[in-house]
Amino acid sequence: METDQLRQYLEFYQDLQIKTLYRRPTAAGAAAPAPEPIVEPVAQAVAKPMDLPPLAPKDDTLLQILQDIGDCKRCRLHEGRTKLVFGVGDEHAPLVFVGEGPGADEDAQGIPFIGKAGQLLTAMIEGTSKKEGIPLLRDQVYICNVVKCRPPGNRTPEPDEMEICGQFLYRQLSNIRPKAICALGGTAARALTGRKEGVTKMRGKWFKWQDIPVMVTYHPSYLLRPYNQAAKREAWEDLKIVLHFVYD
């Protein structure tokens, strides 16, 4: 069985909260015909427990994850990539922001959320926390994306691209183990929660990734559009909820 297919099975069983499988023992050979009535009862084979292997290696680290990604060519997104965009911030942060994928500025520098959308995200994090009396700077949270390479023309990542890159996002989040995750936009929300609703219906509500609370809100690039002022106010309210949940 190929690695990607095995990982999909493991994720499926883990979502069902199944941690142990049972494997039937294989027969050593074909049994000979019994001569006449069986005198001794035959012991029934007992299924043996088999623990599911973890989706993340033991003693995993962010550096190890980055090394395992390497010069990734697992999907078509590598074809137009300038730099792989892994993640940035505090490796022990209690709050992680997850976006969709790198844009042009991020692709050029290898750092997530450094363009106009990133500048708005920084202002949201630092401005909102200051108003709420929470001393917090951008470098004290962790920021990453669902996919680590820029999709052509900033298009939405395809499902197979998200699936392939999702193993590394899973390991990042499993390693950091934040108190909460903030999903920025519909793509990140769907990747983390498995739900199909649009971000407008999901925002401002708590969901779960594994056992970690996930708050969904708008992506900063959506908030940059001049006709989305109401959405900007809603995103600030969402962020206030997250900040107080994590830091109070």
**Mind listing the pLDDT tens digit for each residue in 3-22?**
555 566 566 555 555 555 55
Structural domain contains residue 38: no
Structural domain contains residue 94: yes
* Rounded Cα–Cα distance for residues 74 and 234 (Å): 37
pLDDT tens for residues 56-81?
A: 778 899 999 999 999 999 999 999 99
- Using the predicted structure, report yes or no on whether residue 99 has a pLDDT greater than 60: yes
The answer to whether the CB of 100 falls within 8 A of the CB of 219 is yes
**What is the pTM for the complete model shown?**
0.80
**Amino acid 39: pLDDT:** 46
pLDDT tens for residues 176-188?
A: 999 999 999 999 9
- CA-wise closest residue to 192 among 54, 98, 66: 98
pLDDT tens for residues 192-234?
A: 999 999 999 999 999 999 999 999 999 999 999 888 889 999 9
Say which amino acid occupies 27. A
Structural domain contains residue 104: yes
Residue 132: its H or E element? none
Structural domain contains residue 219: yes
Per-residue confidence band for 134, with pLDDT thresholds at 50, 70 and 90: very high
Structural domain contains residue 189: yes
Torsion of CA 17, 96, 173, 106, to 10 degrees: 140
Number of domains making up the chain: 1
Structure tokens at 49: 């427990």
Torsion of CA 144, 98, 192, 187, to 10 degrees: -110
- CA-wise closest residue to 112 among 91, 151, 131, 84: 84
Expressed as residue numbers, the domain containing 193 is 62-247
* Rounded Cα–Cα distance for residues 42 and 61 (Å): 50
The answer to whether the CB of 95 falls within 8 A of the CB of 242 is yes
Structural domain contains residue 22: no
> 124-154: string of b/e by CB count within 10 Å (b at 16+)?
bbbebbeeeebebebebbbbbbbbbbbbeee
- Look up the CATH number of the domain holding residue 200: 3.40.470.10
The answer to whether the CB of 161 falls within 8 A of the CB of 191 is no
DSSP letter, residue 206: E
The answer to whether the CB of 180 falls within 8 A of the CB of 215 is yes
Structural domain contains residue 87: yes
pLDDT tens for residues 138-159?
A: 999 999 999 999 999 999 999 9
**Amino acid 57: pLDDT:** 78
Average pLDDT, the chain: 86
Interacting residues of 156 by C-beta distance below 8 A, sequence separation 6+: 100, 187
Structural domain contains residue 151: yes
pLDDT tens for residues 229-241?
A: 899 999 999 999 9
**Amino acid 226: pLDDT:** 85
Structure tokens at 84: 């792989």
